[in-house]
Structure 1
Amino acid sequence: MGFVSDFKAFLMKGEIVNLATAVIVGGAFGKIVTSFTNDVLMPPIGLLLGKVDFKNLKVVLQDAVPAVMENGVEKAPAVAEVALNYGSFIQTIFDFVIIGFCIFMVLKAYEKTKKKEEEAPAAPAGPTQEELLTQIRDLLKK
């Protein structure tokens, strides 16, 4: 019973909940950035570079070989193409740069709000306990 209650307490800590939320939001944000890169950013760049579709950019190391059939019997299996898909890699780099820039902007805004909080004048301190006791004593003397 102790293990289960300890595990439940661990899961309900604020840091774990915050981390889980950040991972979920980050995953969704990553999908948005990937879609933005693939569907909005790369097509015009490809068009400017001569109607290039970055997804199809690759260096073929070995061509695909179809299966050899004789009388309905496979004599040699098919061999898949072996290629370096550098176009997909370029799109992933764009994704990384966009996500990095967005995180940078969020952190800059966060630091700016933290700096404003630190620079804000502190509320005037109230009377100390001794001052209050002195005032009470003086009132009682009257």
Structure 2
Amino acid sequence: MLNEFREFIARGNVIDLAVGVIIGGAFATITKSLTEDIIMPVVGAIFGGVDFSNMFILLGDVPAGVSPTDYAKLKEAGVAMFGYGAFITATINFLILAWIIFLLVKAVNKVVRKGPDAPAGPSEVDILTEIRDELRKK
């Protein structure tokens, strides 16, 4: 069983997948920072200084000592809220990440297509003709 596991791990696909997951996690952190620290402040400034991360609708009672406008503290206190601002930020984050991955895949596909062309082999018709000729000889 240990040998089977070793063979499984040694396959190229498993290693490639592991590397992809690790790089994807790191890339998601960069994209999150891009969204939260650069794009969303610009979008907020365009819409009159709105901070999307603090946009929410209270669904429950606010506990004593917690500001009804502090999203982070309300969330920490377990107050029921509809945090649509955080959802907007996460959606924009996803769209940016998906767009960048699309561009990367598109670039890789271009490079792969421009790679060395494999020599053209015989066509299907040529192979069938050879088979027919060999059968006639017998």
Matches within 5 A, 1:18-97: 18-66=16-64, 80-97=78-95
Q: Structure 1: how far apart are the matches of 2:118 and 2:26? A: 39
Q: Alignment partner of 1:62: what SS?
A: coil
Residue 37 of structure 1 contacts residue 94 of structure 1 at CA under 8 Å; is this kept in 2? yes
Q: More strand by proportion, 1 or 2?
A: 1
Q: Structure 1: how far apart are the matches of 2:25 and 2:38? A: 19
Residue 64 of structure 1 contacts residue 82 of structure 1 at CA under 8 Å; is this kept in 2? no
RMSD of aligned alpha carbons = 2.2
Residue 34 of structure 1 contacts residue 95 of structure 1 at CA under 8 Å; is this kept in 2? yes
* Paired positions, count: 110
Give the share of equivalent positions with the same residue, in percent.
35
Q: Structure 2: how far apart are the matches of 1:111 and 1:91? A: 30
Q: Which has the larger radius of gyration?
A: 1
Residue 64 of structure 1 contacts residue 80 of structure 1 at CA under 8 Å; is this kept in 2? no
Cα deviations by residue, 1:39-79 (Å, 9 ceiling, x for unpaired):
11101111221111111000111231339xxxxxxxxxxx8
Instruction: Give me the TM-score of the superposition, normalised by structure 2.
Output: 0.71
Letter in 1 for 2:58: V
Instruction: Give me the TM-score of the superposition, normalised by structure 1.
Output: 0.69
Give the drift of 1:81: 2.1
Q: Alignment partner of 2:49: what SS?
A: coil
Give the drift of 1:14: 0.9
Structure 1 portions without partners, runs of 5+: 68-78, 124-142
Letter in 1 for 2:64: P
